[in-house]
Amino acid sequence: MATFSDLGLSQKVLSAVEDAGYTTPTPIQVGAIPPALAHRDLLGIAQTGTGKTASFVLPMLTRLEKGRARARMPRTLILEPTRELAAQVEENFVKYGKYHKLNIALLIGGVSFDEQDRKLERGADVLIATPGRLLDHFERGKLLLTGVEIFVIDEADRMLDMGFIPDIERIAKLIPFTRQTLFFSATMPPEIQTLADRFLQNPEEIKVAPPSTTAKTVTQRLVASGGKDFEKRAALRDLIREQKDLKNAIIFCNRKRDVSDLFRSLERHEFNAGALHGDMDQRSRMAMLQNFKDGNLQLLVASDVAARGLDIPDVSHVFNFDVPIHAEDYVHRIGRTGRAGRSGASFTLVTKRDAKFVDAIEKLIGQTIEWHEGDMSSVKSDEEAADKPKAKSRRGAKTAADNDRKPRAGRDSEDQEKPAASARKKKKAATNDNENRRGRKRSDTDDKPTPIGFGDDIPAFMMIGSKQ
């Protein structure tokens, strides 16, 4: 079995790795570090949570022991898709570079330009940045990229798949052609592979696991749920409560608005929760993430900003409140648990309309995900789930679906069943309505002509001055 000392790393780096408590390199580190030290271009593909960050940080530190950075001319450049990932990579350089005297500059949004300018003026051996902020500094004349020796694109599939292609192409043209380029990612679909080929010259490909596979240490389950938001929130609360071994968990939503709504709902039900999404300012995002890492928060409701590469080593559970629309995101989400050989569990709430997304995920990961309870046939359709009449009064406008009121004593959910008589009455009305509209679509579809103005009854005040 290989050790870190077998990989060609410097003694300073080896001492820092030993101080950090690591003794055995992961497969991606064994495969990637030697060619990185040999100045080869690299394409590294491995499951999330397998140590990809150290695969480029450690050899970069070894190579940076020789030479010195000049003002505004960084020696290395690492691009990250999110501020959180960029900050995390900086932490890795600080940890493993404790015996080096290197200047590290972090260029991300939400932070003062002046402070970043001062770091660039001192000369940055390591420059870690998000593409937008990097180009902002370049356009202001505060940054030159002609001295970059090593160019790293982390989370390459997301960087290329999220609209960063024009920015990355522009940045690549500003860097010397003789640079070394390293790509690291958990997934690399064929169309993204084609794009990656633009930036790599005769690369060494390191694939320690089939692309888009999930860790065997993560137990995956699907959970049937009704399609209404209040039903999903109730199902999630029940699921959280039944997890006896839950230490902490990340709960993923597809939309930022849903992150805020679910966070407020969990707070009302006295769960220890926080929220993380892209609309939060950088200070709040970093503080929230740190509170979760420190154990001050048990649940973190997040958008996919937290799905990519964030290294929170000991997350016991992941809950997908929404099934991800892009199957690759599922791999990254559940990769937040079961890291570094630990066991973990993921639960995904599935509604009737999510069937095609579940099929795409199972096809991508090459396995069938077991159901926690029931199966797809037990998932209620939206029509079956719609058992609550719309509120007719102003006071009743805030239904349980819109405002999760704290349940009364003795009631576990705010979403109680209506009396049976009311349900029968509603069913009878729906039947009569369908009979009156034979041959037409259901009455709850929006297929009627759009009314113009006030319809046939035009108020008198609108008639004033109409006669000329």
- Report pLDDT digits (tens) over 378-399: 666 555 544 444 444 444 444 4
- Backbone phi and psi for residue 293, each to the nearest 5 degrees, phi listed first: -60, -40
Q: Is residue 451 part of a domain?
A: no
In whole angstroms, what is the distance from residue 84 CA to residue 290 CA? 11
Q: Exposure of 266 by Cβ count < 10 A (0-12 exposed, 13-18 middle, 19+ buried)?
A: buried
User: 96 and 60, same structural domain?
Assistant: yes
User: 166 and 284, same structural domain?
Assistant: no
In whole angstroms, what is the distance from residue 116 CA to residue 191 CA? 36
Sheet with 317-320, strands from edge to edge, namely: 273-276, 299-302, 249-252, 317-320, 344-350, 218-224, 370-373
Q: What is the mean pLDDT of residues 105-131?
A: 93
Classify 277 as helix, strand or coil.
coil
Q: Is residue 452 part of a domain?
A: no
> Which of the residue ranges 275-279, 357-361, 374-378 would you say has the lowest mean pLDDT?
374-378
Q: Is residue 456 part of a domain?
A: no
> Helix and strand tally (H, E) in the chain?
16, 14
Question: What is the domain extent for residue 257?
Answer: 218-397
User: 244 and 177, same structural domain?
Assistant: no
Distance in Å from the first CA to the final CA of the chain: 96
Closest CA to 134 of 157, 158, 155, 105: 105
pLDDT bucket at 220, cuts 50 / 70 / 90:
very high
- Backbone phi and psi for residue 194, each to the nearest 5 degrees, phi listed first: -60, -40
Q: Is residue 373 part of a domain?
A: yes
Pick from 357, 375, 397: which residue ends a domain?
Answer: 397
Pick from 142, 173, 207: which residue ends a domain?
Answer: 207
Question: What pLDDT, in 10s, does the model give residues 229-269?
Answer: 899 999 999 999 999 999 999 999 998 889 999 999 999 99
DSSP 150: E
Q: Is residue 418 part of a domain?
A: no
Q: Is residue 428 part of a domain?
A: no
In whole angstroms, what is the distance from residue 164 CA to residue 357 CA? 25
Q: Is residue 142 part of a domain?
A: yes
Q: What CATH number should be reported for the domain holding residue 34?
A: 3.40.50.300
Is pTM beyond 0.85? Reply is no
Query: What confidence score (pLDDT) does residue 385 get?
Result: 46
pLDDT bucket at 413, cuts 50 / 70 / 90:
very low
Residue 244 C-alpha from the chain's centroid? 26
List CB contacts of 284: < 8 A, sequence separation 6 or more. none
User: 373 and 297, same structural domain?
Assistant: yes
User: 278 and 203, same structural domain?
Assistant: no
pLDDT at 428 over 80: no
Q: Quickly tell me which residue has 């997934």 as its tokens.
A: 187
User: 184 and 90, same structural domain?
Assistant: yes
Q: Exposure of 284 by Cβ count < 10 A (0-12 exposed, 13-18 middle, 19+ buried)?
A: middle
Q: Is residue 28 part of a domain?
A: yes
